[in-house]
Amino acid sequence: MIPNITQWRYYEAKRHTDKSGAGQLVQPSKQQREKFDAKCLEHFIDFITSNQIIKDLPFGDKTLRLSTGEIRNIPNVVRSIAPVSIIKQYNQLCEEDQVKPLGTSTLYKLLDECAASVRKSMEGLDNYITEGGRAFVELEKLVVLLPEDTQALKARLQEAKQYLKTDMKIHVRQTSTVADHCAPYALGTSDPCFKGVCDHEHDSRCDSCSDMADLFDMLLTKVIANTWENRDSVLYTVSFNPSLCIVELEMLKFTNGKLYFR
């Protein structure tokens, strides 16, 4: 009997003989660690530190300890959306820009290392977004009072609100064939001094933007067809489109508030 022989070792030896031949040395397997691509890493860091992801807090700071032992104080920031939504947006951005992203688990680890608080309320941080959120709440209260299609309309309102908070931010571009995504065209007015000149046609369509516009038109039609005690107030609530404020804000953020027209 061969000492210390087990059934597993016996069958492993037979498998090695069939694969490599009798008496051949077992080659140790090499485990390779994949390093970060510096460009991909920088691309993701730029994304999560952009003003569409984080908000600067007016007070407080955090202590950052570098690998060299140096300690630095950095301003306290808060993320406006959850990590899952951040990674989803980033993957969509990479797909549109034809950039190969890092692995999903790596992105989560980077978010954990890049410390930031997750927002619970935008009150006092971004009142523009806060008012837009309140407008959606008022619309939901109004939808409940409608005689029909209440649940379907509430679901569509939630989808529109979620779209404005997440995907809309990465759709805005300096040049886009979708009218609602092209910042110079969408922010332009009838005044020639504030009207963008595009060198492309706006002949593409965004399903999410179109569905949102159809939703508000449908709400206005249903409200007009019903009888209300405070009719003027109700009509004002529906006529004031909360999505326009949020869309305009995201476009101004995209251009850093400095959109120059010719």
pLDDT in tens, 116-149: 665 555 555 556 666 777 778 888 888 888 877 7
Looking at residue 240, its pLDDT comes to 60
61-64: which pairs have CB atoms within 8 A and are 24 or more residues apart? 62/115, 64/115
255: confidence class by pLDDT, cuts 50, 70, 90: very low
Which residues contact residue 225 at a Cβ distance below 8 angstroms, ignoring those fewer than 6 apart? none
3-state secondary structure of 56: strand
Q: What is the pLDDT of residues 82-107, one digit of tens each?
A: 788 888 888 888 887 788 888 888 88
Looking at residue 32, its pLDDT comes to 64
Exposed, middle or buried: residue 139 (CB in 10 Å: 0-12, 13-18, 19+)? buried
**Contact yes or no for 213/137 (Cβ under 8 A):** no
**Which residues are registered as beta bridge partners of 72?**
64
Tokens of 153: 């309309």
Spatial separation of the C-alpha atoms in residues 50 and 235, rounded to whole Å: 37
Looking at residue 261, its pLDDT comes to 34
198: confidence class by pLDDT, cuts 50, 70, 90: confident
